[in-house]
Amino acid sequence: MLGFSAVAQKNPAAVKFSETINKQRGYDHLSILASDEYEGRETGKKGAWMAAEYIKKQFQSFGLKGPVKDGADPYFQKIGYASVSLSKSELSVNGQVKQSLKDFYITPATVSAKGFDVKGTSILFAGYGLNKDDFNDYAGQDVAGKIVMIFSSGDPTAKPAPAPAPGARRTAPSSSGSLQVKIKYLLEHNAAGVLVINPTADNLSPQLKNVLTNSNPYLKTAERMKNIAAGTALPTVMIGTEVANQIFAVANTNLDEIKKKINESLKPATMAINIPVAFSAASVENDVRAENVLGFLEGSDPKLKNEVLVVTGHYDHIGLVTNPNATDKVNNGADDDGSGTTGVLMLAEAFSKAKKAGKGPKRSILFMTVCGEEKGLLGSEWYAEHPVFPIANTITNLNIDMIGRGDKDHPDNNFVYIIGSNMLSDDLDRVGKKANADYTNILLDEKYNNRTDPNQFYYRSDHYNFAKFGIPVIFYFNGVHEDYHQPGDEVSKIDFPMLAKRAQLVYFTAWELANGANRPVVNKNDDGTLKTK
Ligand SMILES: [Zn+2]
């Protein structure tokens, strides 16, 4: 029997082709991707499109293939990303036409594809719109078919939560006063529509006006499309104080007076107000350009090449600074996640060179830089739901998100957090750690490597969209620092030798995974318990 040897088992070919993963190459890519010209690479905007084009060109120059079949460009997987704007937004009270974004507003994202057109000759004012045992604005009322008017927020009976006993868990605050809950009641009881008295409407900020003109984009998931098609939203109009007072005047009162009355008596003041009112809206959906960028390296072993290792990093970031007075206007995202994108590019180049020299991996490798991470892991969600290679053949996802800096717990930066590595597969954990011991010798910090850590990092980057389908993952991460999601996340603060060293760790791990005799066995369930045979 062979004794255990502590001497590192280095594969000379793996070492040779790792040489292109170096600090200079890292700087070359990152100084472009994280430059001000790329405007912080916000998904759906110019800077992200420029980044996508840059990455595609690199993949092409390495000789990688674009594997996307159903699009105009084989390197781009378009994600379903769209925003909504209103083609119509109208309100009239007592025959007077009101001005959108001044007297009232309608939120585009709440208007279904069918739009709405509501008319009536009377309004049911229902105060705070509460439906509780001790305070019911709807007692004895049937709201079906009616236009209801309520306050946007508040609950006059809500008591401040008592201080929790020492050691006791704080209970969630009452949600009865939330607008969502109020609208849900009206929807369930078939109201025709609702006028919400909302002080926000009195003085709209430029940012809010933007979103009300054209919504923030969203991912067109199957679930979302079903809801939009069903058109289940309640016709909802936010009205300002002036419109509210015009309506209350018919009942010989005004907003301040009636609110005071309710708050002091702690009794509902529901009443019908006879006044003609009409409101209507129609929406249009606008596709927004956003894509994952894919480069594919086919495996060399005919029996193994249908198995695919996926290496990811998100190329998007949070875009320009919104504060107009800021001196530094660009959130460069050099670390987050220009560093991971750079890492993916360097791995892609190294494996491509190995393949050209006849040392290509046995299994296939998909290098994928995804978009939409900062918007909620959207690009990877889209990929996992529309995989270019079958999920069943996807052996592992190695995800790199922030490998260019460090945190205050590690002054020398010679570390990387690994997260997820043993969550689904002890094999993968072993391979990753052995690669480090054999080649790179970085401190692997597993502080965040659990499902219960308060930071929830296991759920917070793109690997999770693979893990949720049972694909084992390793997430490489340098922790958060003072420039996280700030304009100060700049190229000048990147530790390029460490970026290259961590990228080499991912590379050697990928080398083992793509060439190993067997793919990592998934021996654990989603909750971390061992699978029973
Ligand atoms: Zn990130």
> How many A from CA of 205 to the centre of ligand 1?
29
Read off the pLDDT of residues 32-73 as tens digits, 9 standing for 90 and up: 999 999 999 999 999 999 999 999 999 999 999 999 998 899
Q: Which residue has the higher pLDDT, 211 or 425?
A: 425
User: Stretch 304-310: mean pLDDT, rounded?
Assistant: 98
Q: Which of 383, 435, 512 is nearest to 68 (CA)?
A: 383
Residue 268 CA to ligand 1 center (angstroms) comes to 49
- What is this structure's pTM? 0.85
d(CA 372, CA 293): 12
**Residue 171: pLDDT band with limits 50, 70, 90:** very low
pLDDT at residue 65 in the model: 98
The band of 170, judged by pLDDT with boundaries at 50, 70 and 90, is: very low
What confidence score (pLDDT) does residue 19 get? 97
Position 419 pLDDT exceeds 60? yes
- Report residue 348 as tokens: 């892609």
Ligand 1 centroid–CA 493 distance in Å is: 16
278: nearest Cα among 110, 96, 106 = 96
The tokens of 38 are what? Answer: 């790329």
User: How remote is the CA of residue 80 from the centroid of ligand 1, in Å?
Assistant: 21
For residue 468, how far is its CA from the centre of ligand 1 (angstroms)? 19
460 C-alpha to center of ligand 1: Å?
Answer: 8
Query: How many A from CA of 369 to the centre of ligand 1?
Result: 12
**Whole-angstrom Cα distance, residue 374 to residue 337?**
10
Greatest alpha-carbon span in the chain: 98
What is the 103 CA–ligand 1 centroid distance (Å)? Answer: 40
Taking phi first (over 0 means left), then psi (-120 to 50 degrees means alpha), and beta for anything else, what does residue 190 get?
left
Whole-number pLDDT of residue 229: 62
Res 207: pLDDT: 87
